[in-house]
Amino acid sequence: MRVATTAEIAGSVVSETLGLVRGSTVRAKHVGTDIVAGLKNLVGGEVKGYSSLMAGAREQALDRMIEEARGLGADAVIGMRFETSQIMGGAAEIVAYGTAVRLHPA
């Protein structure tokens, strides 16, 4: 499955637009990570626990979006974007969305 943030994929033409597809996940932070983050706040630097948590969430949301596109018979997803929002203190939703399409060579 090809996924692009652009409206086109080089060398291909959209032959059919199948519609909006999305995938999401909600992740909560771990109290242990909060303690490390508090210490990092004193000295600065990357909070690797949070970086890892968000990277995993993005991948899961992307995988879920791709599965939805496959279910529609898509070859690709164009115009793909990520969005995030806080659900509650310590929990965030990551959404991947785009337009599922069928392609043919240009």
pLDDT, tens digit only, all 106 positions of the chain: 999 999 999 999 999 999 999 999 998 876 555 555 566 566 666 777 778 888 999 999 999 999 999 999 999 999 999 999 988 877 889 999 999 999 998 8
Residue 67 CB contacts under 8 Å (≥ 6 apart), including other chains: 23
Distance of CA 11 to the CA centre of its chain: 25
- pLDDT at 31 (0 to 100): 56
Residue 54's pLDDT is: 87
Give the pLDDT confidence score for residue 89 in this predicted structure.
Answer: 75
- Residue 66 one-letter amino acid: I
Q: Which residue range is the domain that position 98 belongs to?
A: 2-105
**Which pLDDT score is estimated for 38?**
60
Domains contained in the chain, number:
1
Give the burial class of 60: count Cβ atoms within 10 A of its Cβ; 0-12 exposed, 13-18 middle, 19 or more buried: middle
What's the full length of the chain, in residues? 106
What is the DSSP code (8-state) at residue 71? H
Cα gap 105→13, rounded to integer Å: 6
Please report the pLDDT score of residue 81 as a whole number: 98
CATH for 17: 3.30.110.70
Claim: this prediction has a pTM higher than 0.95: no
Give the per-residue pLDDT at 51. 81
